[in-house]
Amino acid sequence: MGKQENSYFTQALSRFARDVASDGAIRHLADLGYTAKQIQKNLDYPTDLEHIGKVMWEHFLAKGILSYEKPDGNDYVEEVRYVKENRSFGRTTFRRVVERVERPQQEYIRVDFGKRMYQNREGFQKQLEGLEEEDRDYVMGLPWDLKPVYHVLDERMKRIARNLEI
């Protein structure tokens, strides 16, 4: 096995181990409303905040909590899962299954936190000082893109929007 192949295998194994050890727990705790810092404290496997935020971001995009485009009232979102199947001669394979999951009608708010952080990080952090610690940790724990995104207008986002005058 060449160095490049070995490196690829090592990276894939590392990603798999991390997914098994923490990513499922991160997604579950994010669904319960935990912030990245709170999730980090609850994990048994040491995981950096950057990775936790990335997993949360991808999970929220997949669930429709975050969206790069204004939601058009589409009632469905696609959810991907893998099903283990036993084939002939004892071979095990995984089949990708895409399901259309009904998304409840929700109101969204357009936020540009990534742009604000990039333009003036200190000023943005001062704006966040008016928030409760948990809400501030939520905003700072996600890897916001420079382009605006749409976030479900839940209770947390209502508090954040009210305090930041969005």
Q: Which of 16-20, 90-94, 112-116 has the highest mean pLDDT?
A: 112-116
Assigned domain for 44 exists: yes
Residue bearing tokens 């394979």: 93
> 24-28, 30-34, 42-46: which range is least confident on average?
42-46
Dihedral angle computed from the Cα positions of residues 66, 68, 70 and 76, in that order, rounded to the nearest 10 degrees = -60
Domain limits for position 4: 1-63
Q: Please tell me the predicted confidence (pLDDT) of residue 155.
A: 94
Assigned domain for 57 exists: yes
Q: Please tell me the predicted confidence (pLDDT) of residue 91.
A: 84
Assigned domain for 123 exists: no
Assigned domain for 40 exists: yes
When pLDDT is cut at 50, 70 and 90, the band that residue 4 belongs to is low
Kind plus residue range of the DSSP H or E element containing 26: helix 24-31
Assigned domain for 121 exists: no
Tell which wins on pLDDT, 37 or 62: 37
Assigned domain for 42 exists: yes
Assigned domain for 37 exists: yes
Assigned domain for 144 exists: no
What three-state secondary structure class fits 104?
Answer: coil
Question: How far lies 141's CA from each of 66, 86, 163, in Å?
Answer: 14, 41, 18
* Domains held by the chain: number: 1
When pLDDT is cut at 50, 70 and 90, the band that residue 105 belongs to is confident
- Whether the pLDDT of residue 149 is over 80: the answer is yes
